[in-house]
Amino acid sequence: MASHRKSRPTGTRVAGIRTPALATAALTSVALLSQSANAAPEADDKPSLEEVEKKVDDLYRQAGSATEKYNAAKEKTAKQRKRADALIDDVAKRTQKLNEAREELGSFASAQYRTGAAAPDTATFLLADTPQDYFDQTQLMDRMTGRQKVAVDDYIAQQSETMKKRQEATESLEALTESQGDLKTAKATVQRKLADARELMSKLTAEEKARLAAIEKEKREEAARKADELARQQAAQQQAQEEAAQQQDGGSSPSGSAGSGSSSSTVPADSSYATKADKALAFARAQIGKPYVWGAVGPGSYDCSGLTQAAWKAAGVTLPRTTYDQVNAGTTVPISQAQPGDLVFFYDDVTHVGIYIGNGMMIHAPKPGTYVREESIFYDGESAIHSVVRPA
């Protein structure tokens, strides 16, 4: 017999009670909202100050790298422009010579048209008043034919060379356009990285900026400790070398070395280097307080490689424009043997440089928003140092 009972709606049992489907949906929504509320703080969590500092430093480093690429592109653009201008001038001169050769050919053609293009023959002999007249006419035609042949050969050669130079000028102009494109891209990259860094810093509260300043101070103190340690090592090394030299020379004093806390038995810096280094350092010290400006080479502002280039130029030594080239413009020495005037390069991509002044310190143009200053070569940690180069 069929049952007349209505079927009960299915639901979920909670604490022994069977709940209707609608209530189940409501509980599910509450659970999801609870999960979202719990997840929201994680999504809104701000990065730590250490993470912000690292991000800002990374952005400034990327801007520094882009600055060196900008410098390289700018230098390449200047060279390409100079080459293109020279080629265009050369093409203009060759075109003038080509026109002159064409006019000369035209004059020969006109002369042949007036006198007759055919070579002297019996008819010419019969028309001549005397055998001497025939001889003179024959010589004239022979000379004209010879000169015309030379003129034609010269015209063909001029035309070929002019076409070659025009092709070179076209290629140089294309390379110039490409260099200008690289320059524009590098400039935009620098500006974007700097804007990102400024925006990130602007979001920090006063308290966070104070804590960040404390972190920076701690880093500077650690860098100073490492610089003092290097200075002690260099002083001990120099003293040991002087004592060894005295023993070898029977107690006579060795010749003075260049600069404080610096000497090297492996890569010595002679008196001429010391003299040049003194001039370079004097120039660099005079720039302290001037602002860092990317791409600047002075006299009012500098970027890192612009400062080192200008300093050594004051000492009579020409350095390349970019860090990528400056790192190869001299002799590499160990950090323990660094002497005043040496160039200290940073990071694996060699995107920063300073000029060593001794005792673990250097003068450099750090980054946008800062000024030329003295600072420990360990300002960004010992691992950041790439190499030390003696440029002269």
Q: Which residues are catalytic?
A: 304, 352, 364
State the DSSP H helix or E strand holding residue 72, giving kind and residue range, or none if neither: helix 49-115
Which pair of tokens denotes residue 2?
A: 């069929």
Amino acid at 378: F
The label of the residue with tokens 């480093």 reads 61
CB 353 within 8 A of CB 310: no
CA distances 115 to 103, 120, 138, 190, 203, Å, are 18, 11, 12, 74, 93
For 213, list phi and psi in degrees, rounded to 5.
-65, -35
- Non-local (6+) Cβ contacts of 336 within 8 A are 230, 233, 234, 237
The angle formed by the CA atoms of residues 31, 32 and 36, to the nearest 5 degrees, is: 120
If one counts every other C-beta atom within 10 angstroms of the C-beta of residue 187, the result is 18
If one counts every other C-beta atom within 10 angstroms of the C-beta of residue 89, the result is 12
